[in-house]
Structure 1
Amino acid sequence: MTQFLGRQDCIESLRKDLVDLQGAILDVFSRTGPVRFSSWKFPDKLSCNLDMVALLDQYDFVDGEDAFNQHSHIVLLELVIDR
């Protein structure tokens, strides 16, 4: 499985999944209001207050940066869990 860690297609897929999840969350929030629970990934913040656009900008694929791409891959997986 480690051969997939940090690959561009995997990172792009995770980013699309996070966008889809965030859209579903915002749809629910529009009917119920925000759910105020601590973020799993960032326990010092409420999950409803995470700036997903900024996080997706920060953790994107960078050509030639294998260590950073592996880190981004893991962070994006953790954000899927957090959502």
Structure 2
Amino acid sequence: MAHLLGSQACMDSLHKDLTDLQGTIVDVFSRAGPVRFPSWKFPDRMACDLDMVALLEHYDHVPGDPEFTQLSHAVLLELVIDR
């Protein structure tokens, strides 16, 4: 499975999953209000205050930079857990 780390298809799928999760979270927040708990990934911030758009733009597939791309893949997986 290590050969999939940083693959464009996997990262595109993670981006879509995170976008879907965030949309669901926003929908629930609009009805119930934000839930104030620390982020698992960023414990110094509240989970409801994370700027997911900025995070998804920053952690993306970068052709020619496999190390950053693999790091981004791991961060996106961690963000799924965080959500």
Q: Determine the structure 2 residue equivalent to 1:62.
A: 62
Alignment RMSD:
0.4
**Once the 2 structures are TM-superposed, how far is the Cα of residue 32 of structure 1 from its aligned partner?**
0.3
Greater relative contact order (Cα < 8 A, sep 6+): 1
Q: Deviations over 1:2-24 (max 9, x none)?
A: 01000011111000000000000
Matched, 1:14 2:14: yes
How high is the TM-score relative to the length of structure 1? 0.99
SS, match of residue 40 in structure 1: coil
> Given residue 57 of structure 2, which amino acid in structure 1 is its aligned partner?
D
Aligned equivalents of 1:63 and 1:69: distance in 2? 8
List structure 1 segments (4+ residues) > 6 angstroms apart after TM superposition.
none
Count how many residue pairs are aligned between Structure 1 and Structure 2: 83
SS at structure 2 position matched to 1:75: helix
Instruction: Tell me the TM-score normalized by structure 2.
Output: 0.99
Share of identical aligned residues, percent? 67
Task: Give 3-state SS (helix, strand or coil) of 1:35's partner.
Answer: coil
* Distance (Å, rounded) in 1 between the aligned partners of 2:24 and 2:18: 10
Deviations 1:7-64 (A, max 9, x none): 0111110000000000000000000000000000000000000000000010011111
Task: State the partner residue of 2:43.
Answer: 43
